[in-house]
Each structure stands twice: as structure tokens, then as C-alpha cells.
Amino acid sequence: MGLEVGIVGLPNVGKSTLFQALTKAHAEIANYPFCTIEPNIGIVPVKDDRMTRLVQLVEPDKVVPSTLRVVDIAGLVKGASKGEGLGNQFLSHIRQIDAIIHLVRCFEDENVSHVSGALSPLDDLEVIKTELILADLDQVERKLERTIKQAKGDKTAAESIPVLQKLLDTLAKGELAQAIQLNEQEKLLIRDLNLITMKPYLYVGNVSETMLTEDEGHFLKLKELAEKEGIQVVKICAKIEAELAEMDAEEATLFMQDLGIEESGLDQLARAGYHLLDQITYFTAGKQEVRAWNIMRGTQAPKAAGKIHSDFEKGFIRAVVYHYDDINQLGSEAAVKDAGRLRMEGKDYVVQDGDVIHFRFNV
């Protein structure tokens, strides 16, 4: 299973609206190899201009973009951390995902009620973060109790006590678990806890239709917070995304021109999520298919090959590699080869963003 980001937010912030747009958008892609999986999972293609250019140059029969899985995590309300009703379901869902998208309401609409009465993105975020911190705190407390009992005869358990204690103190102060610095060994000791506030996150401000081109009002506050924290922030209007998802590509482009935006919110969101998960792209490009593959930054060639098929990893011999910039500049793979820019790389090679690769393997 691929990496997943989860959408989290208070009721009535626009989660369902955005999610409908997400699930519709992917159904429109030609040659799409995935069908709808579960109702709460959307698969979003990650737009990449380099793909467009590769397709122009190679003219393949089939084009497959890389994708991001987005999960709708319903059920976050004040008190969710206590695990009552929907809360339980919420907690088990959110522990499974790799990164969090905080959807924050920035749109004014008298007809859509707000849980706490007044619209205030920063207060909303506080409510949510507090619930997540409380949920982690509960988890760490219970783990610490168990570990202290085990520690008598178990060295690993004994080692994890100070780490758990550090976590407990941080969470109890109302800070995210990721606020503390842990070394690799410490991280390993607490990995099975799947702490929610350890996961990377970003903010999405759901703004009114009229606010898309300006950074003002409620969104501005969110943006300022994001800048202060060094967190990515994306501005969307869920209502417009839902409309865009119903249109064909040409109509959508015209509509976006009218609105004065260059790129849909979903495309920006997919890219931001990709970045958040530290994913990079390599390509395979042949007459049959041009395809983008996402891997974690720092992945070595055999593992990257394993994305395509496990045989590619097991029987890996070498990778024949050039860079997108080479073919972009020279116009064809043959020209890249003639220019001496085709390289043979072995199993220690760390795949770079924009590499175009043919794998050689035997089974």
C-alpha cells in the first residue's frame, strides 16, 4: 500500500465537499489504472510538467502519473481523544496514516453553522491540536505504565522508559510530540506507538469563492501562523474544487482563468502532500508507457526498482540512467545516448528526482 495523507478538521469546515472533489477528479484521468477502492479513500494524481514534456517527446501509448492516497478521517470533534463513539474510529484511522492535512474553515457563510459559534481558524486549530495531543498523551501514559512493569527483566523496555517520560512531559505541557528531538534509536523504541502528533502535517485554508486571489482575513491569519511554524499552507475553495471536478480539462482551464487562478487547489494540495512525505519522482519512459514513480528521497536503485516489481529488486543488476534535463534539452533518448549522458549505476546508487531509468535485472 502506498503512502497516505489524512484530511482532518472540525465538522462543517468542508471536508466532505473537498473529498467529493478529490474522488471525482481521479475518475476523469484517461488510462487510469486504479478504480475506486473504499469510499473514504481518494487517489489524486500529482501533476508534473516534466511528464507532459516526456509524453511529447516519447509519444507513448499510455501515461501514468504518480499519485497520492488521501483519506477522509471523519469524526474529529471536541472530546474525540476520550475515544467515545466516533472518536474511537477516528483515532484508529488517524494512527494509520503517514501525514496529516489540517483543513481549516476560513469561509464566511451564515447558512453554515460553526461548531463554536464564531469563525476563528486559529482557535479551531487549537481545538484540534489539543485533541490530538490528548490522544497521544493517553497512549503514552498507558505505554509507560506497562513498560515500567516489564522493565524488570527486559532491557529494551528499561531503555524506553526515559524516552516515554520525555514524551509524556512534552505532551502534558500541551506541545506536539514532534517538538522533542529524538535520535534514531529513540525513534525506533517508540515507533509502534504511532503517535499522531509525531506525523508531519500541513494546513489547508478553505476560503470563500471571492477570496481565492487574495490573502486576507481569516486566511491571512492561518498563513502567518504557518510561516511562523515553518509549515506549508495551501489555499483552496472546496466549493469551487467540487465544481472544477465536474468539468472537462478545457472547461476547467477557462473557469480558472475567469477566477484568476493558475492551478487548481487539488493540484497544489497533491504537490504539497508529496513534498510533506519527502517523496521524489523518477520516470520510466518507453513507447509502451511513460510513468512517474514516487519514492522516498534517499532511496537506492534496487529499492526504487522494487516499486515497479519485486523481481526488479530481487534480481537487480544495474540501472541505466539519464536525467530529465538531458532529454528535455536534447530531444530524444538516442540523442542523450549519443551525447554520452547515459550512465550505468549500481546497487548503491541513490536515485535522484527527475531521473529517467531503465532497470536491468534477471530472475
Residue 51 φ then ψ, to 5°:
-60, -45
What CA–CA distance (Å, rounded) separates 24 from 32?
A: 13
Q: How far is the CB of 86 from ligand GDP (least distance, A)?
A: 12
DSSP state of 62: E
Total Cβ atoms within 10 A of residue 287? 10
219 part of the interface to ligand GDP, by CB under 6 A: no
Stretch near ligand GDP under the rule CB under 6 A, chosen from 138-146, 231-239, 292-300, 313-321: 231-239
Q: How far is the CB of 74 from ligand GDP (least distance, A)?
A: 7
Comparison of 164 and 266: residue with beta carbon closer to ligand GDP: 266
Comparison of 15 and 291: residue with beta carbon closer to ligand GDP: 15
3-state helix, strand, coil in the chain (%, to 5): 45, 20, 35
Comparison of 69 and 239: residue with beta carbon closer to ligand GDP: 239
Is the distance from CB of 220 to CB of 188 less than 8 angstroms?
no
Give the 3-state secondary structure of residue 179.
helix
Q: How far is the CB of 40 from ligand GDP (least distance, A)?
A: 12
Q: Kindly state the cell numbers that stand for 354.
A: 527527475
- Which of 27, 33, 92, 112 binds ligand GDP (CB under 6 A)? It is 112
- Which of 44, 73, 222, 238 binds ligand GDP (CB under 6 A)? It is 238
- Which of 5, 6, 14, 93 binds ligand GDP (CB under 6 A)? It is 14
293 part of the interface to ligand GDP, by CB under 6 A: no
Residues 6+ apart with CB under 8 A from 240: 209, 212, 259, 265
Comparison of 14 and 42: residue with beta carbon closer to ligand GDP: 14
Stretch near ligand GDP under the rule CB under 6 A, chosen from 106-114, 174-182, 211-219, 220-228: 106-114
Residue 300 φ then ψ, to 5°:
-85, 160
Which helix (H) or strand (E) segment holds residue 355: the answer is strand 355-361
Q: Kindly state the cell numbers that stand for 254.
A: 477557462
Which residues pair with residue 6 across a beta bridge? 71, 100
- Which of 150, 194, 208, 352 binds ligand GDP (CB under 6 A)? It is 208
120 part of the interface to ligand GDP, by CB under 6 A: no
15 part of the interface to ligand GDP, by CB under 6 A: yes
Is the distance from CB of 80 to CB of 86 less than 8 angstroms?
yes
In the complex, which residues of this chain contact ligand GDP (CB under 6 A)? 9, 11-17, 107, 109, 112, 206, 208, 237-239
